[in-house]
Amino acid sequence: DVKVTQSSRYLVKRTGEKVFLECVQDMDHENMFWYRQDPGLGLRLIYFSYDVKMKEKGDIPEGYSVSREKKERFSLILESASTNQTSMYLCASRPGTAKNIQYFGAGTRLSVL
Protein backbone atom coordinates (compact mmCIF):
# COMPACT_ATOMS: atom_id res chain seq x y z
CA ASP A 1 0.00 0.00 0.00
CA VAL A 2 1.13 3.52 -0.74
CA LYS A 3 1.83 5.47 2.39
CA VAL A 4 1.92 9.25 2.56
CA THR A 5 2.72 10.55 6.02
CA GLN A 6 2.24 14.08 7.24
CA SER A 7 4.20 14.95 10.33
CA SER A 8 1.37 16.52 12.33
CA ARG A 9 -2.41 16.04 12.40
CA TYR A 10 -3.05 19.27 14.30
CA LEU A 11 -0.96 22.41 14.68
CA VAL A 12 -1.62 25.70 16.44
CA LYS A 13 0.67 28.60 15.60
CA ARG A 14 0.74 32.33 16.18
CA THR A 15 0.62 35.04 13.55
CA GLY A 16 4.10 35.76 12.20
CA GLU A 17 5.59 32.39 13.11
CA LYS A 18 7.47 30.36 10.54
CA VAL A 19 5.71 27.04 10.03
CA PHE A 20 7.02 23.84 8.49
CA LEU A 21 4.69 21.11 7.28
CA GLU A 22 6.44 17.88 6.40
CA CYS A 23 5.31 15.13 4.07
CA VAL A 24 7.01 11.81 3.38
CA GLN A 25 6.01 9.09 0.91
CA ASP A 26 7.44 5.60 0.84
CA MET A 27 6.67 4.54 -2.74
CA ASP A 28 9.42 6.32 -4.67
CA HIS A 29 6.88 8.57 -6.39
CA GLU A 30 8.25 11.30 -8.63
CA ASN A 31 5.41 13.76 -8.14
CA MET A 32 4.33 15.40 -4.90
CA PHE A 33 1.72 18.05 -4.19
CA TRP A 34 0.56 20.37 -1.46
CA TYR A 35 -3.10 21.41 -1.29
CA ARG A 36 -5.23 23.32 1.14
CA GLN A 37 -8.89 22.53 1.61
CA ASP A 38 -11.41 25.07 2.87
CA PRO A 39 -15.20 24.92 3.15
CA GLY A 40 -16.85 26.22 0.01
CA LEU A 41 -13.53 26.41 -1.85
CA GLY A 42 -12.56 22.77 -2.15
CA LEU A 43 -9.03 21.57 -2.76
CA ARG A 44 -6.68 24.20 -4.10
CA LEU A 45 -3.17 23.43 -5.28
CA ILE A 46 -0.42 25.43 -3.58
CA TYR A 47 2.78 23.94 -5.02
CA PHE A 48 3.91 20.74 -6.68
CA SER A 49 7.15 19.03 -7.55
CA TYR A 50 8.03 16.64 -10.36
CA ASP A 51 11.48 15.78 -9.10
CA VAL A 52 14.09 16.44 -6.47
CA LYS A 53 14.96 20.14 -6.15
CA MET A 54 12.23 20.96 -8.64
CA LYS A 55 9.12 22.97 -7.76
CA GLU A 56 6.24 24.58 -9.59
CA LYS A 57 3.65 27.07 -8.40
CA GLY A 58 0.10 25.88 -8.18
CA ASP A 59 -2.98 28.08 -8.10
CA ILE A 60 -2.41 29.80 -4.74
CA PRO A 61 1.35 29.93 -3.98
CA GLU A 62 1.35 33.35 -2.30
CA GLY A 63 2.58 33.20 1.27
CA TYR A 64 4.06 29.72 0.84
CA SER A 65 7.29 28.13 -0.26
CA VAL A 66 8.36 24.51 -0.63
CA SER A 67 11.46 22.37 -0.45
CA ARG A 68 12.23 19.01 -2.03
CA GLU A 69 15.77 18.00 -1.15
CA LYS A 70 15.03 14.27 -1.22
CA LYS A 71 12.65 12.35 -3.41
CA GLU A 72 10.57 11.04 -0.56
CA ARG A 73 10.11 14.33 1.29
CA PHE A 74 8.21 17.47 0.30
CA SER A 75 8.01 20.31 2.79
CA LEU A 76 5.61 23.24 2.82
CA ILE A 77 6.82 26.42 4.51
CA LEU A 78 4.76 29.33 5.73
CA GLU A 79 7.38 32.07 6.08
CA SER A 80 5.18 34.26 8.28
CA ALA A 81 1.91 32.62 9.20
CA SER A 82 -1.27 34.65 8.93
CA THR A 83 -4.79 33.96 10.16
CA ASN A 84 -6.04 33.43 6.60
CA GLN A 85 -3.72 30.45 6.34
CA THR A 86 -5.79 28.58 8.90
CA SER A 87 -6.85 25.54 6.90
CA MET A 88 -6.58 21.81 6.31
CA TYR A 89 -3.35 21.07 4.44
CA LEU A 90 -3.14 17.91 2.38
CA CYS A 91 -0.05 16.39 0.84
CA ALA A 92 -0.33 13.99 -2.08
CA SER A 93 2.01 11.93 -4.21
CA ARG A 94 1.75 10.25 -7.57
CA PRO A 95 4.02 7.98 -9.59
CA GLY A 96 5.19 9.40 -12.89
CA THR A 97 3.39 6.73 -14.86
CA ALA A 98 0.00 6.96 -13.16
CA LYS A 99 -2.94 8.56 -14.88
CA ASN A 100 -3.19 11.40 -12.44
CA ILE A 101 -4.26 9.21 -9.53
CA GLN A 102 -3.07 10.87 -6.35
CA TYR A 103 -2.51 9.35 -2.92
CA PHE A 104 -3.10 11.64 0.02
CA GLY A 105 -1.73 11.95 3.50
CA ALA A 106 -4.11 12.22 6.43
CA GLY A 107 -3.88 16.00 6.47
CA THR A 108 -2.67 18.66 8.88
CA ARG A 109 -5.25 20.96 10.39
CA LEU A 110 -3.43 24.23 11.00
CA SER A 111 -4.84 27.00 13.14
CA VAL A 112 -3.10 30.38 13.10
CA LEU A 113 -4.11 32.59 16.00
Partner 1 sequence: RKEVEQDPGPFNVPEGATVAFNCTYSNSASQSFFWYRQDCRKEPKLLMSVYSSGNEDGRFTAQLNRASQYISLLIRDSKLSDSATYLCVVNIPSDNAGNNRKLIWGLGTSLAVNP
Q: Which residues bind partner 1 (CB under 8 A)?
A: 40-43, 45, 90, 99-107
CA separation (Å) from 10 to 37, 105, 111?
A: 14, 13, 8
Q: Pinpoint the alpha helices (H) of 1-113.
A: none
Count H helices and E strands in the chain, helices first: 0, 12
Q: How far is the CB of 106 from partner 1 (least distance, A)?
A: 5
Q: How far is the CB of 107 from partner 1 (least distance, A)?
A: 5
Q: Which is nearer to partner 1, 58 or 63 (CB)?
A: 58
Q: How far is the CB of 16 from partner 1 (least distance, A)?
A: 28
Q: Which is nearer to partner 1, 4 or 78 (CB)?
A: 4
